[in-house]
Amino acid sequence: MKALYTGAVLLAAASIVLSGCSKNENKANETAANAVANNAAAGAVDLTDAQEKYRAYGIEQCDQFIIETEKFVNAVKAGDIDTAKQLYAPTRMYYERIEPIAESLGDFDPNIDARENDVPDADWRGFHRIEKSLWVDNSAEGMNEFADRLLSDVKALRALMETVEVDSTMLVTGAVELLNEVSSSKVTGEEERYSRTDLYDFVANVEGAKKIYELLKPTLEQKDADLEKQIGDRFAELEGQLEKYKSGDGYVLFTELKETDTKALSQSLDALAEPLSQMGTILGA
Amino acid sequence: MTEKKNRPEKQGGMWSKPVSRRDLLKMAGVGGAGLLLGGLGTGGLLGAKGLLQENKASAQSGDIVDFYGSHQAGITTPSQDFICFASFDVTTKDASDVRELFKKWTEAAAAITSGELIGTANDNGNLPPSDTGEAAGLNPSRITITFGVGPSFFDDRFGLASKRPAGFEPLPHFNGDALREEWNGGDLGVQVCANDMQVAFHAIRNLARIARGKAVLRWTQEGFQRTSGSDEAGATPRNLMGFKDGTGNPDIRDEQTMNEVVWAQSGDGASWMAGGSYMVVRRIRIRVEVWDRSTLKDQEGTFGRHRDSGAPIGSRGEFDKVDLNAKDEKGKPAIPMDSHVRLARGDGSLRILRRSYSYSSGLDKTTGQLDAGLLFISYQRDIAKQFIPLQRKLATDRLNEYILHHGSAVFACFPGVRKGGYIGETLL
């Protein structure tokens, strides 16, 4: 995926995924690429407005992500375990909302969000590396370097976000991708294996998907009002269910969920993801 | 049909086109393969030719069981090789959503059983295909899909309490029950049977997908029996205890008997069930490790039949009369008093149509023993008058030492559907 943000392959990639590029270098190319992408993927539907708003959303989330990560990193470096633990899960939510973008931008996801054994031990860094130290060892010792790397990775992500090009196909499928993230690792409790704060990621992924749905809603209403309503209803249902697990400003730990809870959450998620996966209908055949 | 007009222009793999499997079968039958194959490359041509020839043979031997009819298929249909059973919980509280689900299920079932792809979005690059695709190009394999509703469907959610057939409730506790919550009940029951497991699984998977947001899977169980390929004569199948199972079944070709034993009649009470049938499902674990260390004599005494021939003890042929008065050389009953056949058969007045399959579901995690047994299914006109008294008689069955009833469910299976109608339309 690294190659995606090098200008040379931009043209080829433009119609496939969200692609990062440098605006300065590729101004002319970009216009051409957009035209191709729009014709090929979007058909007659013009989603330029939604695409632009989504890009702005990504940047806004990223800005907050830096601010919160900085606080988290400072707590880790100060050895303030309690504060670090408190900040850990809420900070990650900014990332989880826009995960598909980050994943499309090369190595950011493994650097920021890899779990143990996702990558070779020597390369393991990011949030989960620090999570393990905080919760398993109840210590921040030896974490300074990881903390600094994390902040610089997050800043690099932000810099690249500036140049990201949101393509209509990616926008439409990104919502389902976010729910697939929940399905594969959050609802199973595999994401936050030490802190058990999986529900924070769960909620953030759902919020990210909802953002996309809201941006596409006007178009969807015109194209398939029943589908639009069904998706809206099922978001409401899932949100209502998640509401039950609120605790203070955050959410209960995954360990407090019974099997019947995770099963019900998972089934509601599937019920939402199915119609959500039909949003591509606005792109035509 | 616009689909057919599109066909010659389209390129690519044969199955990316809206050509139904049924179309293929038809074309194979009239020798239209050349026309159909015009747009394919060499590889596709060779592959497709083989496919057409294969399908031609099986089409002639009748691989489509009609979905529409006065009764649902899959009840008095001769047993296919495999079963995929699914029990669902309805999650919507809106009766109109359930009706919508029944309509969509009907459309899907009609397509699946005739070998067509489900839905219309199977060639739109911007959408997930409406059919999951694993049965594309496969012979329909005599697939049948049979739908029913459980007693819980008649609670206060959908305003149907007054339509609950008298006595239609979860089965009472029987001696030997070891029921486990995860294998019990359900608002909706779907029995899928086919001569190909992949074809059967495809149906359950797609029905569950269509149900999302309206109903969720509660439990599923797959099952098998010897295939027609390994027993062309179609002898009575053997269960996992090695004994023939189903010898005493009533004759499915005898319409009058089926009306007496299987089909609910218009005067039976619930008028919406006329032409339907009540299904009992029991997931019965066989303690195979224990059974396997019992002597042949014990095993035969347990069933009251000879293992090899299936004949009643003391007789020679499988279908010989079960003589409960026969004595052995010591003057004791030849067929033991606690044997399965004696208790199950009785005086022959209690009859049900059994349609069971064996199952194997890996290991029991706590013991490391095989979780295998019988997915017992029976159809009857009235559960309270037929199944329950029969099962009560089995309280002293010697077989109980070797089996555990882990699952139990009952479903009222709708009457058949006519084209343009939908399953459950007499009820909802």
> B295: which residues sit within 8 A by CB, 6+ positions away?
none
Cβ atoms of residues A198 and A189 within 8 Å: yes
Residue type, A70: E
In chain A, residues with a C-beta closer than 8 Å to the C-beta of B126 are 41, 169, 172, 280-281, 283-285
Separation of alpha carbons A73 and B16, rounded Å = 52
Count the Cβ atoms, other than its own, within 10 Å of residue A273: 23
How distant is the alpha carbon of residue B330 from its chain centre? 44
pLDDT at site B340: 95
Q: In the block, which residue shows the tokens 């007693």? A: B151
What chain B residue is nearest to A238 in terms of C-alpha separation? B213
In chain A, residues with a C-beta closer than 8 Å to the C-beta of B212 are 270-271, 274-275
- Taking alpha carbons only, the member of B202, B228, B31 closest to residue B116 is B202
Buried b (16+ CB within 10 A) or exposed e, B47-84: ebeebbeebbebbeeebbbebbeebbbbbbbebbbbbb
CB contact under 8 A, B126 and A270: no
Q: Give the H or E element holding residue B47.
A: helix B42-60
Q: Of B91, B127, B209, B218, which to mutate for an interface test with A (greatest number of A Cβ within 10 Å)?
A: B127
pLDDT at site B9: 34
pLDDT at site B334: 94
DSSP assignment of chain A, as one string?
-GGGGSGGGHHHHTTTS-EE--HHHHHHHHHHHHHHHIIIIITT---HHHHHHHHHHHHHHHHHHHHHHHHHHHHHHTT-HHHHHHHHHHHHHHHHHTHHHHHHTSTHHHHHHPPBTTB-GGG--SHHHHHHHHHHSS--TT-HHHHHHHHHHHHHHHHHHTTEE--HHHHHHHHHHHHHHIIIIITTT-SSTTT--HHHHHHHHHHHHHHHHHHHHHHHHHH-HHHHHHHHHHHHHHHHHHHTTEETTEE--GGG--HHHHHHHHHHHHHHHHHHTTGGGGG--
CB contact under 8 A, A271 and B91: yes
A&B contacts, CB < 8 Å: 35
Give how far Cα B152 sits from Cα of A261, A268, B322, Å.
21, 21, 39
How distant is the alpha carbon of residue B316 from its chain centre? 32
pLDDT at site A94: 97
Dihedral sign of CA atoms A34, A39, A40, A46 in order: positive
pLDDT at site B228: 85
Separation of alpha carbons A173 and A48, rounded Å = 16
Closest approach of chain B CAs to the CA of A196, in angstroms?
26
Token pair belonging to B212 = 């999302």
Separation of alpha carbons A98 and A170, rounded Å = 12
CB contact under 8 A, A285 and B123: yes
pLDDT at site B62: 62
Q: Which of A172, A271, A280 sits opposite B212 (nearest CB)?
A: A271
Hey, is B177 helix, strand or coil? Answer: strand
Low-confidence ranges of chain B (pLDDT < 70): 1-62
Separation of alpha carbons A70 and A141, rounded Å = 18
What chain B residue is nearest to A172 in terms of C-alpha separation? B126
Between the two ends of chain B, the Cα-to-Cα distance in Å is 32
Q: Mean pLDDT score of chain B, rounded to an integer?
A: 87
Cα atoms in the Cβ-side hemisphere of radius 13 Å centred on A40: 15
pLDDT at site B347: 85
CB contact under 8 A, A274 and B125: no
ipTM: 0.78
CB contact under 8 A, A172 and B127: no
Q: Which of A41, A271, A278 sits opposite B127 (nearest CB)?
A: A278
Give how far Cα A93 sits from Cα of A18, A62, A195, A201, A208, Å.
21, 11, 14, 6, 10
Dihedral sign of CA atoms B270, B274, B276, B282 in order: positive
Question: Taking the model in full, what pTM does it have?
Answer: 0.83
Helices (H), B61-133: 95-113
Separation of alpha carbons B299 and B242, rounded Å = 9
In chain A, residues with a C-beta closer than 8 Å to the C-beta of B125 are 285
CB contact under 8 A, A285 and B124: yes
Q: Of A38, A262, A270, which to mutate for an interface test with B (greatest number of B Cβ within 10 Å)?
A: A270
| Cα diameter, chain B | 82
Phi-psi region of B63 (alpha: psi -120 to 50; beta: other; left: phi over 0): alpha
Separation of alpha carbons B161 and B156, rounded Å = 6
- Vertex B345: Cα angle to B342 and B347 (nearest 5): 100
Cβ atoms of residues B382 and B277 within 8 Å: no
Q: Of B2, B91, B97, B212, which to mutate for an interface test with A (greatest number of A Cβ within 10 Å)?
A: B212
Cβ–Cβ contact B175 with A under 8 A: no
Strand duo B144-149 + B188-194: pairing: antiparallel
In chain B, residues with a C-beta closer than 8 Å to the C-beta of A169 are 126
Dihedral sign of CA atoms B83, B84, B90, B94 in order: negative
Cβ–Cβ contact B213 with A under 8 A: yes
Beta bridge pairs of residue A211: none
Count the Cβ atoms, other than its own, within 10 Å of residue A262: 16
What chain A residue is nearest to B210 in terms of C-alpha separation? A274
Beta bridge pairs of residue A84: none
* pLDDT tens readout for residues A207-266: 999 999 999 999 999 999 999 999 999 999 999 999 999 999 999 999 999 999 999 999
Each residue's pLDDT, cut to its tens digit, for chain A (285 residues) gives: 333 333 333 333 333 334 333 334 444 444 444 444 444 444 468 899 999 999 999 999 999 999 999 999 999 999 999 999 999 999 999 999 998 888 888 788 999 999 999 999 999 999 999 999 999 999 999 999 999 999 999 999 999 988 888 889 889 999 999 999 999 889 999 999 999 999 999 999 999 999 999 999 999 999 999 999 999 999 999 999 999 999 999 999 999 999 999 999 999 999 999 999 999 999 887
Hey, is B112 helix, strand or coil? Answer: helix
Cβ atoms of residues A157 and A108 within 8 Å: yes
Phi-psi region of B321 (alpha: psi -120 to 50; beta: other; left: phi over 0): beta
Count the Cβ atoms, other than its own, within 10 Å of residue A203: 24
Hey, is B361 helix, strand or coil? Answer: strand
In chain B, residues with a C-beta closer than 8 Å to the C-beta of A234 are 213
Cβ–Cβ contact B162 with A under 8 A: no
> B119: which residues sit within 8 A by CB, 6+ positions away?
B108, B111, B129, B130, B131
Q: Give the H or E element holding residue B373.
A: strand B370-380
Token pair belonging to B242 = 């090695």
What chain A residue is nearest to B129 in terms of C-alpha separation? A278
Token pair belonging to A55 = 């890009």
Token pair belonging to B391 = 């099962």
> A80: which residues sit within 8 A by CB, 6+ positions away?
A140
